[in-house]
Amino acid sequence: MNLLLYGPPGSGKGTQAAMLHDRFDIPHISTGDILRAEVKSGTPLGKQAQPIMARGDYVPDDIMIGIIRNRLAQPDTANGFILDGFPRTIPQAEALDRLLTEIGKEFDRVVYLKVETPELVKRLAGRMTCPVDQKTYPPGTTTCPTDGAALIQREDDKPEAVKQRIEVYLSKTLPLLDYYRSRGLVSEVEGVGTIEEIHPRVLKAVGRGSGVANS
Ligand code: AMP
């Protein structure tokens, strides 16, 4: 099952992708997580990406396409993958199409997690992140309930960067919706509610929502 989780920043893509990974045992490929790991390790790519990410802009397309090309070449993607945060621009989507054709794969579904802008701002501003597993928690949470780590605020979850991320999403990423809709690939999922409410909607969208155990 080859999936794309699509949606604005703060729509819950990462959370739902991680749950799909747990359920179907296919890799969750988050370009944001890949870039954050590069920043943390201080690689040349990380050094280039860090200031761009901190202000909420996009890392150049050629770099992102290179990252995905390498990642999709890994053998763990043989039975499927969940893309989260890529593609984010039309040139990225076009390059991904060429790459998928090259490797003989295609998307089964694009799941669009729909959340309106005021709700996104509310979620992102003050959101806290676990430095160990990257899971996010509501403002005011101090400790990760899973591993006890002290939560941090991502630099790009600060107010100015949040505003920029949403603006860049609307201008550069929203056009992808029509790009995939024109091929009949998009399933729209209401992204407001609790994580437990939203997950069954996502399962239904990917055709695994029958309620049958291990479906
Ligand atoms: P995310 O965790 O998906 O919100 O990504 C965090 C940041 O990484 C974004 O705000 C961008 O600066 C950068 N990034 C992640 N994926 C991409 C992409 N496909 N294209 C450009 N920049 C990206």
- pLDDT band of residue 159 (cuts 50, 70, 90) is confident
Which residues, 6+ apart, have CB-to-CB distance to 50 below 8 Å? 39
- Hey, what are 68's tokens? 């995905």
Listed range (22-26, 33-37, 155-159, 189-193) with the worst mean pLDDT: 155-159
The percent of residues above 90 in pLDDT, for the chain, comes to: 86
Q: Which of 45, 67, 88, 133 to mutate to test the pocket of ligand 1 (most atoms within 8 A of CB)?
A: 88
Residues with CB under 6 A from ligand 1: 9, 31-32, 35, 52-53, 56-59, 64, 85-86, 88, 92, 156, 165
Q: Are strands 81-84 and 28-30 parallel, antiparallel or unpaired?
A: parallel
Q: What are phi and psi of 190, to 5 degrees?
A: -65, 115
Q: Ligand 1 mean position to 145 CA, how many Å?
A: 26
Place of tokens 């729909």: 114
Phi-psi region of 56 (alpha: psi -120 to 50; beta: other; left: phi over 0): left
> In terms of C-beta density within 10 A (0-12 exposed, 13-18 middle, 19 or more buried), how is residue 94 classed?
middle
User: Using one digit for the tens of pLDDT, what is the confidence trace for 110-148?
Assistant: 999 999 999 999 889 888 999 988 888 888 899 999 999
Domains of the chain: 2-27+74-116+159-205 (3.40.50.300)
Distance CA 172, CA 170 (A): 6
Q: Does 169 have pLDDT greater than 70? A: yes
Nearest to 58 by CA among 9, 18, 19: 9
Q: Does 210 have pLDDT greater than 80? A: no
Q: Which of 5, 16, 31 to mutate to test the pocket of ligand 1 (most atoms within 8 A of CB)?
A: 31
**Model pLDDT, residue 126:** 82
Q: Ligand 1 mean position to 141 CA, how many Å?
A: 24
Residue 136's DSSP bridge partners are 129
Ligand 1 atom 11: residue of nearest CA: 58
Q: Would you please indicate which residues are annotated as catalytic (active-site) residues?
A: 13, 88, 127, 154, 165
Q: Ligand 1 mean position to 154 CA, how many Å?
A: 13
| Residues 28, 18 contacting (CB under 8 angstroms) | yes
Nearest ligand 1 atom to alpha carbon 156 = 10
Q: Ligand 1 mean position to 211 CA, how many Å?
A: 33
- Hey, what are 23's tokens? 């359920």
Average pLDDT of every residue of the chain: 94
Q: Are strands 128-129 and 136-137 parallel, antiparallel or unpaired?
A: antiparallel
Q: Which of 58, 94, 165 to mutate to test the pocket of ligand 1 (most atoms within 8 A of CB)?
A: 58
